[in-house]
Amino acid sequence: MKRIKIFDTTLRDGEQSPGVNLNQIEKLEIAKQLERFGVDRMEAGFAASSKGDFNAVKEIANTIQNTSVTGLARCVKSDIDISWEALKGAKYPRLHLFLATSPIHMEYKLKKTPEEVVETAVNMVKYAKERFQEIEWSAEDASRSDKEFLAHIIEKVIDAGATVINLPDTVGYATPAEFGALFKYIKENVPNIDKVDLSCHCHNDLGMAVANSIAAVENGATQVEGTINGIGERAGNASLEEVAVALKIRSDYYPYETGLNLKEIKRTSDLVSKLTGMHIQANKAITGRNAFAHESGIHQDGVLKHASTYEIITPEMVGVNSNTLFLGKHSGRHAFKDKAKELGYQLSDEKLKEAFDSFKQLTDQKREVTDDDLFTILTEIQTETSAIHKYKLDMFQVQYGTANEPSATVKLTNPQGETVEATEKAQGSVEALYKTIDSLVNEELKLVDYSLNSVGRGKDALAESFVQLIVNDEQVSGRGSAQDVLAASANAFLNAVNRYIVQQTTKQRSVD
Ligand code: KIV
Ligand code: ZN
């Protein structure tokens, strides 16, 4: 079996998904989970793009010990310098430089001749090599580039010091046969190609990102790039869990393996979905909630007689357990702490107490507290910043009936510590609730997206809400969970407002 390296870009390309904005604590939490999942390389962000990205890349670089941490940079000296500042504390730092090579990008975007593009790429790889030992160089829009030109520039950047060559299908245009042929061509026409890792990076605009990645591997790629749940620009990137499980399940056909711990798939996928607010479609391969559900009677009968009649992947293989009651009303703090650890959380004493109190509260309302419920509570508490004064929901009441106009009364404690209260009417219950909260918050708010899902199944399932707001011209997201849908909705709305306040306070502190 040939070992294929996995390069995760959830925190960079994945974070470029419309509407996703992760804060530093959330990024670090995902990075720690990616390390647990066993990715070989993780792209922590684009340090030169903003102060927030710089800080997140730096913190991840300084924390992660078992995975190489990389940062994206344009072929520009200042990007390389900033990336080094962010990444120099990493145990295994690396740089990811990119420059477009397709005629359309070179002419219209870069406004450079092919010769100038070669010169820039070579000079910047040499410049980066003064600091970074490991340099990945990406030929942006490789799949729409001229093959001979691509082979030429690749040879030059390897001579200049690149250690990984990445060929992205930037716009998700390639077909598997074509993309495979590109890798074969590069393997056969770049004399020094065996000195480096050859990597693929596929986008999913035509739904072929995973198939294209596997075609690249069959034709010489030694690294696959992608994201958890396939999130990313536009239609997203290749879903890493799908690539890994396909190689595993079809190991009779594909002589390749990854170093991923497949049992961590569910947790990794849940964490990314929760923190990004990008819900996973029910029928998504591997991680969708229906991925292991058999609906037709004939299939159910077959599975009962012999699971492999209709089941090619076992849920256990990807970390999906039966998810029934694990702790109840009478469970103690010790058992709770052990369970939190099993779910991957190391909580401070203060956060543990907060999580335990929420758990106890939930056991009063819900007969069965599942792993999914606990994971939701723990994720919320672990990623909460407590040091900054924010809005706190003290109580709310919503009146809804088909005969009257819905109204809501809300009482909040504002960041100044004052209690404020208001009542507003609107067309619906959530609208009334949001309008009332809006009237109590001293910021300009506009709701742009709202969603509500249940955590797990059953009529007493926990509700989870996700919102996107524009707060004073800045887009922020928020999430909240509760036993009741209105409480979850209120929590999500206020969470978005509070995230804005935390962002502003952190920005202000870094200016000070
Ligand atoms: O899709 C792409 O081309 C990229 C590069 C920056 C590698 O994400
Ligand atoms: Zn990309």
| SS3 sequence of 228-267 | HHHCCCCCCECEHHHHHHHHHHCCCCCCEECCCCHHHHHH
- Closest atom, ligand 1, to C-alpha of 225: 7
Q: 329 pLDDT exceeds 80?
A: no
Q: How far is the CA of 46 from the centre of ligand 1 (A)?
A: 12
Ligand nearest to the CA of 101: 1
Q: How far is the CA of 100 from the centre of ligand 2 (A)?
A: 12
Q: How far is the CA of 100 from the centre of ligand 1 (A)?
A: 9
Helix (H, G, I), strand (E, B) or coil at 118: helix
Copy the structure tokens of residue 102.
């397709």
Closest CA to 338 of 327, 329, 325, 328: 327
Cα gap 162→128, rounded to integer Å: 9
Q: What was the pLDDT predicted at 324?
A: 52
Q: What was the pLDDT predicted at 292?
A: 86
Cβ of residue 499 lying under 6 Å from some atom of ligand 1:
no
Cβ of residue 13 lying under 6 Å from some atom of ligand 1:
yes
User: What mean pLDDT do residues 490-508 have?
Assistant: 89
- Closest atom, ligand 1, to C-alpha of 9: 8
Helix (H, G, I), strand (E, B) or coil at 312: coil
Q: Hey, whose CA ends up nearest to atom 5 of ligand 1?
A: 140
Cβ of residue 9 lying under 6 Å from some atom of ligand 1:
no
Cβ of residue 138 lying under 6 Å from some atom of ligand 1:
yes
Q: How far is the CA of 118 from the centre of ligand 1 (A)?
A: 18
**Pair 429, 400: CB distance under 8 Å:** yes
| pLDDT (tens digit per residue) in 102-150 | 999 999 999 999 999 999 999 999 999 999 999 999 999 999 999 999 9
Q: How far is the CA of 90 from the centre of ligand 1 (A)?
A: 23
Q: Which residues, at least 6 apart from 381, have a Cβ–Cβ distance to it below 8 Å? A: 347, 351, 354, 355, 358
| pLDDT (tens digit per residue) in 32-58 | 999 999 999 999 999 999 999 999 999
Least confident interval from 19-33, 202-216, 218-232, 320-334: 320-334
Q: How far is the CA of 305 from the centre of ligand 1 (A)?
A: 47
Q: How far is the CA of 222 from the centre of ligand 2 (A)?
A: 18
User: What mean pLDDT do residues 79-94 have?
Assistant: 98
Q: How far is the CA of 169 from the centre of ligand 2 (A)?
A: 8
Q: What was the pLDDT predicted at 509?
A: 64
Q: 505 pLDDT band (50/70/90 cuts)? A: confident
Q: 321 pLDDT band (50/70/90 cuts)? A: confident
Q: Which residues, at least 6 apart from 65, have a Cβ–Cβ distance to it below 8 Å? A: 35, 91
Q: How far is the CA of 207 from the centre of ligand 2 (A)?
A: 14
Q: How far is the CA of 233 from the centre of ligand 2 (A)?
A: 7
Q: Which helix (H) or strand (E) holds 131?
A: none
What's the whole-number average pLDDT of the chain? 93
Cα gap 325→121, rounded to integer Å: 56
Q: Hey, whose CA ends up nearest to atom 1 of ligand 1?
A: 170
- Closest atom, ligand 1, to C-alpha of 237: 1
Q: What was the pLDDT predicted at 151?
A: 98
Cβ of residue 137 lying under 6 Å from some atom of ligand 1:
no
- Closest atom, ligand 1, to C-alpha of 141: 3
Q: Hey, whose CA ends up nearest to atom 6 of ligand 1?
A: 98
Distances (CA, A) of 168 to 76, 162, 186, 405: 20, 16, 13, 54
Give per-residue burial for 107-120: e unless 16+ CB within 10 Å, then b.
eeebebebeebbeb
Cβ of residue 140 lying under 6 Å from some atom of ligand 1:
yes
| pLDDT (tens digit per residue) in 237-289 | 999 999 999 999 999 999 999 999 999 999 999 999 999 999 999 999 999 98
Distances (CA, A) of 319 to 268, 277, 315: 10, 21, 6
CA angle, residues 151, 203, 270, in degrees to nearest 5: 135
- Beta strands 223-226 and 197-202 are parallel
Percent of the chain with pLDDT over 70: 98
**Pair 37, 257: CB distance under 8 Å:** no
Q: 503 pLDDT exceeds 80?
A: yes
Q: 512 pLDDT band (50/70/90 cuts)? A: low
User: To test ligand 1's pocket by mutation, which of 8, 11, 13 has the most ligand atoms within 8 angstroms of CB?
Assistant: 13
User: To test ligand 1's pocket by mutation, which of 11, 170, 231 has the most ligand atoms within 8 angstroms of CB?
Assistant: 170
Q: 478 pLDDT exceeds 90?
A: yes
Q: What was the pLDDT predicted at 328?
A: 72
Cβ of residue 14 lying under 6 Å from some atom of ligand 1:
no
Q: What was the pLDDT predicted at 460?
A: 83
Handedness of CA 279, 284, 286, 288 (dihedral sign): positive
Q: What was the pLDDT predicted at 442?
A: 94
Q: How far is the CA of 265 from the centre of ligand 1 (A)?
A: 24
Q: 437 pLDDT exceeds 60?
A: yes
Q: 365 pLDDT exceeds 90?
A: no
User: To test ligand 1's pocket by mutation, which of 98, 182, 223, 224 has the most ligand atoms within 8 angstroms of CB?
Assistant: 98
Cβ of residue 201 lying under 6 Å from some atom of ligand 1:
yes
Q: How far is the CA of 109 from the centre of ligand 1 (A)?
A: 14
Ligand nearest to the CA of 170: 1
Q: Which carries the bigger pLDDT value, residue 155 or residue 20?
A: 155
Predicted TM-score (pTM) of the model is 0.92
Cβ of residue 40 lying under 6 Å from some atom of ligand 1:
no
User: To test ligand 1's pocket by mutation, which of 99, 140, 205, 212 has the most ligand atoms within 8 angstroms of CB?
Assistant: 140
DSSP secondary structure letters along 10-31: TTTTGGGSTT----HHHHHHHH
